[in-house]
Amino acid sequence: MNTPTTIATHNGSFHADDVFGVAVLRLLFPEARLLRTRDEALIATADFAVDVGGEWDAARGRFDHHQRGFEGARASGVVYASAGLVWAAHGPALVAQQCGVMEPTLARAIADSLDRELVQHLDRADTGAANAAPGLFGLSALLAQFNLPWDRRGSAFDDDAASLARFEQAMAVVTQLLLAALDQQRARHQGAQQVREAKMLLDGRVLVLPRGGLPWRDVSADMPDLWFVVYPDASDQQHQLHVVTVEPQSFTARKDLPRAWAGLREAELAAASGVGDAVFCHNGRFIAGARSLEGALRLAELAVAAPFDPK
């Protein structure tokens, strides 16, 4: 008879890093038994020890960062907490399991993306490097709400069933978020590959995508000659023309749509552009649309040929 896998973490008040680390391991080992304790003898018998035990040794399943002399840090300089230690060791395996990604390089890339957008912010909050909640991360303060308040803690708080139940509730929230975030990252990486393989027109100034929703903004930084993107918008039954910005998070376009189109719709835009099925151009000149792909491509051609408009 096989002995069930045991995951140990500390009892008492919990934090985002121990909840996250245990959630990752529980997804990989769903039959695992959770042991919340500070008893060193019990911790030593566990298969995994998260945020407890005074040791970092991924090969032996030890993921603590509180020990004296701990110097674990990412290449970026962000110091690891236990969540990051678990993720560095087991994140790619969880990506492969949950996303069906068999190619190790892609699994690592997806895991690294989630580390940048979530896990490292969690670690920074746990180690006191930051109190803010950038990117996806507002998780630390939210998970803290699952701890029992002081006036509901009994004398055996460290070991009581109520504390364990609250930890399981917090872990369920983390698990849902983690799985959803992994699916988003998988789609983002696979979509980026479709963007890279899409058709380029007009000497690389216009990118034509086969479908809407693809993460072209992430890829555009590697396409310095690109000015505009054309893609279908099924909800409005049209094709849209969108400017490319100087940086993915910027609002400054590499080239704006023509000023003469700003705020025009339907017949007015058709008259101004000469494109009979033109639908609209936003007053901010960052997006326009036409009912057909041919119309959107003609708008793109005109936008490329138009002189730069001084700001």
CA 146, CA 160: separation in Å to the nearest integer?
15
The secondary structure of residue 63, as a DSSP letter, is E
Cα dihedral sign, 297-299-300-301:
positive
Per the CB < 8 A criterion, the answer to whether 231 and 296 are in contact is no
Question: How confident is the prediction along the chain (311 residues), in pLDDT tens digits per residue?
Answer: 467 899 999 998 899 999 999 999 999 999 999 999 999 999 999 999 999 999 999 999 999 999 999 999 999 999 999 999 999 999 999 999 999 877 899 999 999 999 999 999 999 988 888 765 554 457 788 888 898 888 877 666 555 788 889 999 999 999 999 999 999 999 999 999 999 999 999 999 999 999 999 999 989 989 999 999 999 997 778 999 999 999 888 889 999 999 999 999 999 999 999 999 999 999 999 999 999 999 999 999 999 999 988 66
Q: Sheet containing 33-36: give its strands across.
A: 33-36, 6-9, 48-50, 62-63, 56-57
pLDDT at 85: 98
The β-bridge partners of 243 are 228
Per the CB < 8 A criterion, the answer to whether 230 and 297 are in contact is yes
- Answer yes or no: pTM beyond 0.85: no
**Torsion (CA) 76, 77, 83, 86 in degrees, nearest 10:** 70
